[in-house]
């Protein structure tokens, strides 16, 4: 739904239009931009609080920089809605995160102003440094390179690696630290405490406003004067803060902290910094959710609230007459507490997603046994491995697409050492509106090739609980449990837990001619398909593998002995996934059947609701049923056997 823009915002299509305005008009632009984000997101959904906090910074950057020639890189993208609106996409912003609409994150193929595609955190400094070095190599000495990174993203190792490299390159790069003390949940760790110390140092703050201006003026007096000024400034900063400045130690010029909501002052600073050579860091203090009182008060809740009434703040949720199945993440959150109460060895770990994966429930109930380690997936896995060496059983919960960032640690630190780390991969399969950067498309394939791994996927909530119970038994080794985003299928899900034999699948229903093999929650689409097929006179068998490693060989021998047509269904990539495992089994055992694999094709699939994407890729219930009808023979009657 189109939303009207304010008078000034309505005149801005591109940054060139913004530059035509007077500086005195920019506060009104900020107010209108903030209100526009509130208006659109309230009726269309999307990420919310982060972009409200960067409104003034966005306006100042686009006012001062010569984008897209100057390279502006946004970290993650949650904070870049204002950027999108000011760079030619205001009139289509209502399609943000909607199927076939614009992406919720910066995306190079979408706009020349999106210099780097993002979705995962902490990539901005590395990317901007690469751009800066390239410009230096090409002789583009007038080109600016700016990375805007949230302080939550600063907790990732990749950000530190990039800072370490940038400090020695002497390239023209400006890192803007958007310090709001939040990622999705409140930040944790020593860096957070360090930044808090800086922002609360009153003597230091009394001097901060003059430093950038003085340095900009001195730089015109020659290199010797500039070197002397740098030494004086470093001495002053170190004395007032009573410690060495972390960023200065990495050879960055540090400026701040400054008010990230003072658009005029930001413009002045950015102009001054433009004239200072070398790597620089501007520390901006902002408020996540700025301008919307409820979002300022509860920033985690309003990170991505869904649809809401902008006047009352009521978040709109569908009301049901009957109890509904829970989210898989909540099943995990409640179940790990049950298991931990009975087993003192169990620990919980998450890299900055306690509310997203529901480990926050355990953190509240058992604060000494549940850890948020910051946006640091590699550390999360190896930290879990360290716990496991001491006889503990860590449940390391990481979104499937984020686990890609810790792949070496899974192999080197967990699998090779056969450590009992339970890796719970939330958001497996299609992740919905977050799109290509967040789809958990590859975990079955990238985990399946690693030795010593057990890889499982529950079809429903009861199976998730049983697999978690199974994984915490003694000597289980590296154990993967993958499950999707969203709600399950069972209202009565809190049943007594029991162990599942590792590598043992199950028959959902017997059949003839065609056998469907599924793994994980997508099996519920197969159930829908078979119910309709029975009505239409087709009677395929359905098997739930539960494990892609080790495979249930007895079950597969039964299938290949009995059926000539086999359909595999998985909410994951076809290359190397469960279907590939079935083909390997068939070849290794000299079977000859017609196998059709349904799953995510060898393509980048964009954002959309899960059912929309299943249909696009041909493995929703209707597509599965159509495939069976191509292979099977219609019958008048058939007796199915459930097990």
Binding site for thiamine diphosphate: what residues are annotated? 78, 119-121, 152-153, 180, 292, 377
Q: What is the DSSP letter of 499?
A: -
CA dihedral (482, 486, 492, 494) positive or negative: positive
Q: What is the DSSP letter of 497?
A: P
- In our burial notation (b when 16+ CB lie closer than 10 A, e otherwise), range 562-582 reads ebebbbbbbbbbbebbbbbbb
β-strands 253-259, 280-285 pairing: parallel
**Residues 515, 562 contacting (CB under 8 angstroms):** yes
Token pair, residue 444, equals: 């079955």
**Cβ atoms within 10 A of the Cβ of 640, count?**
15
The helix or strand, by DSSP H or E, that contains position 29, with its residue range, turns out to be helix 26-44
Alpha helices for 475-522 (secondary structure H): none
> What is the residue-wise DSSP string for 198-261?
HHT-HHHHHHHHHHHHHHHHHHTT-HHHHHHHHHHHHHHHHHHHTS--HHHHTTPEEEEEEETT
**Residues 409, 381 contacting (CB under 8 angstroms):** yes
Token pair, residue 440, equals: 């958990």
Q: Is 561 exposed, middle or buried (0-12, 13-18, 19+ CB in 10 A)?
A: exposed
β-strands 454-456, 479-482 pairing: parallel
Query: Angle of helix 328-342 relative to helix 461-471, nearest 10 degrees?
Result: 40
Binding site residues, as ranges? 78, 119-121, 151-153, 180, 292, 377
Is 504 designated active site?
no
The active-site residue, picked from 268, 280, 288, 327, is: 288
Closest CA to 411 of 451, 464, 439: 451
CA 562, CA 514: separation in Å to the nearest integer?
Answer: 9
CA dihedral (575, 576, 577, 579) positive or negative: positive
Compute the C-alpha angle 193/195/199, nearest 5°. Answer: 115
Binding site residues for Mg(2+), as ranges? 151, 180
CA 167, CA 251: separation in Å to the nearest integer?
Answer: 5
**Residues 285, 260 contacting (CB under 8 angstroms):** yes
**Residues 572, 600 contacting (CB under 8 angstroms):** yes
Would you give the distance in Å from CA 298 to the centre of its chain?
20
Is 296 designated active site?
no
Would you give the distance in Å from CA 481 to the centre of its chain?
18
Is 314 designated active site?
no
Non-local (6+) Cβ contacts of 22 within 8 A are none
Mapping DSSP to helix (H, G, I), strand (E, B) and coil, where does residue 190 land? helix
The active-site residue, picked from 34, 107, 253, 405, is: 405
Report, as residue numbers or ranges, the catalytic residues. Answer: 288, 377, 405
């Amino acid at each position: 739904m189109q939303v009207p823009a304010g008078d000034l915002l309505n005149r801005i299509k591109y940054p060139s239009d913004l530059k035509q305005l007077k500086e005195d008009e920019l506060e009104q632009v900020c107010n209108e931009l903030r209100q526009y984000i509130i208006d659109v997101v309230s009726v269309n959904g999307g990420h919310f609080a982060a972009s409200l906090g960067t409104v003034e910074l966005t306006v100042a950057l686009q006012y001062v920089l010569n984008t897209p020639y100057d390279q502006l890189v946004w970290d993650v993208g949650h904070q870049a809605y204002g950027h999108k609106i000011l760079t030619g996409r205001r009139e289509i912003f209502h399609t943000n995160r909607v199927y076939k609409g614009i992406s919720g994150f910066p995306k190079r193929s979408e706009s020349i102003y999106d210099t780097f595609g993002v979705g995962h955190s902490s990539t901005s400094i590395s990317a901007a440094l690469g751009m800066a070095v390239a410009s230096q190599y090409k002789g583009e000495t007038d080109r600016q390179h700016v990375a805007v990174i949230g302080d939550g993203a600063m907790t990732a190792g990749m950000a530190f690696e990039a800072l370490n490299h940038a400090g020695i390159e002497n390239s023209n790069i400006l890192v803007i630290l958007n310090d709001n003390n939040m990622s999705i949940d409140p930040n944790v760790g020593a860096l957070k405490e360090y930044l808090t110390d800086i922002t609360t140092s009153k003597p230091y703050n009394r001097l901060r406003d003059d430093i950038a201006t003085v340095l900009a003026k001195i730089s015109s007096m020659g290199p010797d004067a500039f070197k002397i000024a740098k030494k004086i400034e470093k001495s002053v900063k170190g004395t007032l803060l009573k410690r060495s400045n972390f960023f200065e130690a990495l050879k960055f010029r540090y400026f701040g902290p400054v008010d990230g909501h003072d658009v005029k002052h930001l413009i002045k600073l950015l102009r001054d910094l433009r004239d200072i050579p070398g790597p620089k860091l501007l520390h901006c203090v902002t408020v996540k959710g700025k301008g919307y009182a409820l979002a300022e008060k509860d920033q985690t809740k309003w990170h991505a609230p869904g649809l809401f009434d902008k006047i009352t703040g009521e978040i709109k949720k569908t009301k049901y007459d009957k109890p509904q199945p829970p989210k898989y993440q909540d099943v995990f959150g409640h179940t790990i507490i049950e298991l931990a109460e009975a087993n003192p060895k169990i620990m919980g770990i998450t890299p900055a997603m306690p509310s997203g994966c529901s480990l926050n429930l355990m953190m509240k109930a058992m604060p000494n046994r549940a850890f948020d380690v910051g946006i640091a997936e590699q550390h999360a896995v190896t930290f879990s491995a360290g716990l496991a060496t001491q006889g503990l059983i860590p449940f390391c919960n990481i979104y499937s697409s984020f686990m890609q960032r810790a792949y070496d640690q899974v192999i080197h630190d967990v699998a090779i050492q056969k450590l009992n780390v339970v890796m719970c991969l939330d958001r497996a399969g299609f992740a919905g509106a977050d799109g290509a950067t967040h789809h958990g498309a590859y975990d079955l394939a990238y985990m399946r090739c690693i030795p010593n791994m057990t890889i499982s996927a529950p079809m429903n909530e009861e199976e998730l609980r049983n697999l978690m119970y199974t994984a915490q038994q003694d000597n289980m080794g590296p154990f993967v449990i993958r499950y999707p985003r969203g709600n399950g299928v069972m209202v009565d899900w809190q049943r007594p837990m029991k162990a599942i034999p590792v590598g043992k699948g199950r028959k959902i229903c017997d059949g003839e001619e065609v056998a469907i093999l599924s793994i994980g929650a997508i099996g519920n689409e197969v159930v829908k398909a078979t119910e309709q097929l029975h009505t239409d006179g087709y009677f395929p068998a359905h098997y739930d593998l539960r494990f892609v490693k080790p495979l249930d060989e007895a079950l597969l021998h039964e299938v290949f002995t009995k059926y000539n047509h086999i359909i595999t269904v998985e909410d994951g990539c076809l290359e190397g996934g469960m279907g590939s495992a079935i083909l390997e089994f068939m070849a290794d055992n000299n079977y000859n059947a017609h196998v059709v694999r349904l799953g995510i094709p060898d393509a980048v699939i964009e954002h959309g609701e899960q059912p929309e994407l299943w249909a696009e890729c041909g493995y929703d219930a209707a597509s599965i049923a159509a495939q069976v009808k191509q292979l099977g023979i219609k019958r008048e009657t058939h007796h199915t056997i459930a097990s």
